[in-house]
Amino acid sequence: MLQRIVKPLLVLALLALTQYSYATEGMWLPQLLSGLNEKEMKGMGMKISAADIYNINKGSLKDAIVSFGGFCTAEVISTQGLLLTNHHCGYGVIQKHSSLQNNFLENGFWAKTAVEELPNPGLFATFIVRIDDVTKAALQDVQPGMTEKERQSAIDKRLHEIRQNARKESWQETMIKPMFEGNQYFLFVTETYRDVRLVGAPPSSIGKFGSDTDNWVWPRHTGDFSMFRIYAGKDGRPAPYSKDNVPLKPKHALPISMKGVKQNDFTMVLGFPGRTNEYLPSEAVKQTVEVTDAAKVEMRDAALKIMDSYMRKDPQIKIQYAAKYASTANYWKKWMGEMQGVKQTNGIARKQQYEATYRQLLAGNPTWQQQYGGVLDSLNSLYRQIQPYAQTRDYYSELVGNVELFTVSDKLLNFLSDARQKGEGQYETLRSQFLESMAPFYQNYNATVDKDICVSLLALYAQGVPARFSGNEYNQIWQVSNKDSRALANQLYAASALTSMDKLKALLQQPLNAVVAQVWKDPAAGMAIALRNGFVENVSKPLNELQLGINKLQRTYMQAQIDVMGSKKRFYPDANSTLRVTYGKADGYTPRDGVRYDFYTYLDGVMEKYIPGDYEFDVPARLIELYKKKDYGQYGVNGKMPVCFIASNHTTGGNSGSPALNANGHLIGLNFDRTWEGTMSDINYDPSICRNIMVDIRYVLFIVDKFAGCTRLIDEMNLVKK
Ligand code: ARG
Ligand code: ASP
């Protein structure tokens, strides 16, 4: 956009730009930096060029960044394919390698030699080789009057062709992603390595220090990292696991800066952010925070309180529910932060102001009028229409997601329909597979806890969902129980065969037909079916239709915003799990009146939070010893050990494990979270309170070297000291 503006206007335009976008907002496509961002980045202190970040002719920063298993980011930090990511990204893998005798989650794990590095079937690391704009080819058959379905199939046909004809090596893959709500399409040529081995992880008392209490919170003191290594075939290309594979020789490995970060220093984060919605109308933002977030928070609030009360009383339940609690709490807390942040920064009023300007400019231009007139109003109207359906969807999914008796009912019903399709002959095998898959679930299941959750959530569901949406079957059950969720739950849990592994086994001992007959009569399965039928019959269809309409109008509104507001704002595509660059400055913030947060934390803060024996705030003896002796080796500064820092980089879920780089493109930290007040950055970025949280790279190295003694890893890195 900027390139088209003639010179004298540039200054004015740049001034105007600051009105609706902030220097640090945005998740930018790496191949477009030179046109859109390079100048600003240099102005903020960057010393390298856009071509050092993304280059298809020689190794550049992007060649050190991988999508880690599709859910996190990781980066190459040595010429031997050593990968750095978060502890919470490696968590599942570390857990899988753990046993009671060798509890790597609790004690940490360090491969002393290459031979001890542990393979992980299913885990992969994907590099981005090249990104091409294929919009023209993708959209060439699209005609104005097409329905959404016709449009999509016309596009899909072309996308198939584009992928077929894409220039690439035989071992590479392609992927096409829509950007700007489907106004643009980009082709990604990728290289995926599937032999990714676990190299090291600190104990959870470092890697998950502060656990749920500190999650989304600043000041933070977590050493949230783990290390892996990419192995390749002898030719350096992707190869399935083999003991003959060799460490990958990457096109680029990140040099590691030992210099730390100062206030207002330029920082940059490269990674794979998952999903954002930055271009919603104010109506939708309002709905998100006031209606749907609120419904989800209400349901999870109740579930979490119950889990917590049992976990505090019973150590067995504490172990069983720790992981469930953490995953339920993660987004519960995020949504609360989002609700609060939008309110605190007047997010809705500011969006409305933006829309007023948009409407004004639109009104003054007949071409735009013709193209986009009425789009925003129609979109708002659809959002108002979808509201009760969207709210019900969230009540429904939180109910069946948090009451495990319903979750397991759905699993059993799916298994039975699969078994009936495949026939009696295969039942024996399918049954043992199913039972085996359910064993870990029941190991962590407590029917008393689950029943209490059910009592609470059924009551909230009944309050939140209009009778016309919940369906006759459910309404009947609810009437018969006199709208008493305690009485209803008592009955469900007393009579159901799904409340324990033993009962489930006994049920499945019978021949298939008998099982089916009994499950039809099982009250828990019956309730799950009634809930599902109510949802499918009364909500899914209108919800999906409205959503399709919204998608179409969001696409038009997106293009309208780009055209109409292009002189006042720079546009970046919403996150969609593709490689992005975001940049900002190291800085603290004011979370509320009278409080100012600094941007750095130190090991002293770990010791301040230390609670001996606590499951969140215990500290390993070895770390205390190093702290007491101030034995920080080359990693400390002025007798202190830096731990975490924050900056105004615009990140989201999926950016975990992303490298934080300095002005020279050297690694200074590892991204792992955002501050609570700023989690609304997914729908409303505001530089005053949106901060990403990173572990200082020197803390990572200190733990690897001084704490764990795994110096062989330090030796393969390139440490930049001056
Ligand atoms: N809030 C961080 C991110 O979404 C970290 C989550 C993992 N840590 C935890 N304590 N649950 O996803
Ligand atoms: N913790 C998130 C992740 O796991 C990052 C974030 O949401 O800021 O990707």
Helix (H) or strand (E) holding 697: helix 697-702
Above 90 in pLDDT, residue 21?
Answer: no
Can you list the pairs that 7-13 forms with residues at least 24 positions away whose Cβ atoms lie under 8 Å? 13/567
C-alpha 657 – ligand 2 centre gap (Å): 8
CA distances from 315 to 324, 423, 615, 638, 648 (A): 15, 44, 11, 42, 40
Q: Closest residue (by CA) to atom 7 of ligand 2?
A: 653
| Rounded Cα distance, 605 and 610, in Å | 9
Strand partners, 201: 109
What value, to the nearest 5°, has the Cα angle with vertex 62 and ends 61 and 66? Answer: 125
Cβ of 552 closer than 6 Å to ligand 2, yes or no, is no
Cβ of 69 closer than 6 Å to ligand 2, yes or no, is no
Cβ of 582 closer than 6 Å to ligand 2, yes or no, is no
Above 50 in pLDDT, residue 8?
Answer: no
Residue 446 lies inside a defined structural domain of this protein: yes
Above 90 in pLDDT, residue 181?
Answer: yes
Helix (H) or strand (E) holding 449: helix 447-464
Locus of tokens 């546009």: 571
Q: Closest residue (by CA) to atom 3 of ligand 1?
A: 673
600-641 pLDDT, tens per residue? 999 999 999 999 999 899 999 999 999 999 999 999 999 999
C-alpha 222 – ligand 2 centre gap (Å): 14
Burial status of residue 191 (CB atoms within 10 A of its CB: 0-12, 13-18, 19 or more): buried
pLDDT of residue 95: 87
33-49 pLDDT, tens per residue? 999 999 999 999 999 99
Q: What one-letter code names the amino acid at 300?
A: R
Angle between helix 404-422 and helix 523-535 axes, rounded to 10 deg = 90
Counting ligand 1 atoms within 8 A of each CB, the residue from 88, 206, 307, 336 with the most, and so the one to mutate, is 88
Counting ligand 1 atoms within 8 A of each CB, the residue from 105, 215, 321, 693 with the most, and so the one to mutate, is 215
List the catalytic residues: 88, 224, 656
pLDDT of residue 100: 78
Above 60 in pLDDT, residue 1?
Answer: no
pLDDT of residue 636: 98
Cis? peptide before 219, omega within 30° of 0: yes
pLDDT of residue 20: 66
Residue 515 lies inside a defined structural domain of this protein: yes
User: Ligand 2: which atom is nearest the Cα of residue 330?
Assistant: 1
**Which ligand gives the minimal distance to the CA of 674?**
2
CB half-sphere exposure, 371, CA atoms < 13 A = 16
Cβ of 656 closer than 6 Å to ligand 2, yes or no, is yes
User: Quick one: which of 300, 474, 469, 470 has its CA closest to 386?
Assistant: 469
Counting ligand 1 atoms within 8 A of each CB, the residue from 673, 674, 682, 693 with the most, and so the one to mutate, is 673
Residue 459 lies inside a defined structural domain of this protein: yes
Task: Name the average pLDDT for the chain.
Answer: 95
109-144 pLDDT, tens per residue? 999 999 999 999 999 999 999 999 999 999 999 998
Burial status of residue 364 (CB atoms within 10 A of its CB: 0-12, 13-18, 19 or more): exposed
**Which ligand gives the minimal distance to the CA of 216?**
1
Residue 372 lies inside a defined structural domain of this protein: yes
Q: How many Cβ atoms sit within 10 Å of the Cβ of residue 580?
A: 27
Task: Give the rounded percent of residues in the chain with a pLDDT score beyond 90.
Answer: 93
Q: What one-letter code names the amino acid at 33?
A: L
The total number of structural domains that make up the chain: 1
209-244 pLDDT, tens per residue? 999 999 999 999 999 999 999 999 999 999 999 999
User: Ligand 1: which atom is nearest the Cα of residue 208?
Assistant: 10
Q: Which residue has the higher pLDDT, 392 or 320?
A: 392
User: Ligand 2: which atom is nearest the Cα of residue 674?
Assistant: 8
Above 70 in pLDDT, residue 3?
Answer: no
C-alpha 386 – ligand 1 centre gap (Å): 30
Q: Closest residue (by CA) to atom 5 of ligand 2?
A: 653
CB half-sphere exposure, 555, CA atoms < 13 A = 15
- Map 43-84 to HEC letters: HCCCCCCHHHHCCCCCCCHHHHEEEECCCEEEEECCCCCEEE
Q: Closest residue (by CA) to atom 11 of ligand 1?
A: 326
Contacting residues for 316 by C-beta, under 8 A, at least 6 apart: none
C-alpha 64 – ligand 2 centre gap (Å): 20
**Which ligand gives the minimal distance to the CA of 328?**
1
Residue 433 lies inside a defined structural domain of this protein: yes
C-alpha 216 – ligand 2 centre gap (Å): 9
Q: What one-letter code names the amino acid at 641?
A: M
Is there a contact between 256 and 701 (Cβ–Cβ < 8 Å)?
Answer: yes
Cβ of 649 closer than 6 Å to ligand 2, yes or no, is no
User: Ligand 1: which atom is nearest the Cα of residue 673?
Assistant: 2
What count of residues does the chain have?
Answer: 722
User: Quick one: which of 647, 683, 641, 664 has its CA closest to 221?
Assistant: 641
Please compute the mean of the pLDDT values over residues 565-581 and round it to a whole number. 96
User: Quick one: which of 257, 253, 244, 255 has its CA closest to 195?
Assistant: 244
Q: At 542, list the tokens.
A: 């209108």
Q: Are strands 719-720 and 256-257 parallel, antiparallel or unpaired?
A: parallel
Supply φ then ψ for residue 656, to 5 degrees: -60, 135
Instruction: Tell me the torsion sign for CA atoms 228, 232, 238, 240.
Output: negative
483 Rama class: left (phi>0) / alpha (psi -120 to 50) / beta:
left
Cβ of 674 closer than 6 Å to ligand 2, yes or no, is yes
Residue 337 lies inside a defined structural domain of this protein: yes
Is there a contact between 203 and 107 (Cβ–Cβ < 8 Å)?
Answer: yes
User: Quick one: which of 696, 668, 639, 691 has its CA closest to 22?
Assistant: 691
630-685 pLDDT, tens per residue? 999 999 999 999 999 999 999 999 999 999 999 999 999 999 999 999 999 999 99
Helix (H) or strand (E) holding 505: helix 501-508
C-alpha 12 – ligand 1 centre gap (Å): 42
Q: Closest residue (by CA) to atom 4 of ligand 2?
A: 656
As for ligand 1, residues whose beta carbon falls within 6 Å of it are 88, 211-212, 215-216, 326, 330, 653, 656, 673
**Which ligand gives the minimal distance to the CA of 656?**
2
Residue 422 lies inside a defined structural domain of this protein: yes
Q: Which domain holds residue 397?
A: 282-562
| Rounded Cα distance, 218 and 368, in Å | 45
428-470 pLDDT, tens per residue? 999 999 999 999 999 999 999 999 999 999 999 999 999 999 9
Residue 450 lies inside a defined structural domain of this protein: yes
Work out the pLDDT band at 19, boundaries 50, 70, 90: low
b/e map of 655-683 (b: 16 or more CB within 10 Å)?
bbbbbbbbbebbbbbbbbbbbbbbbbbbb
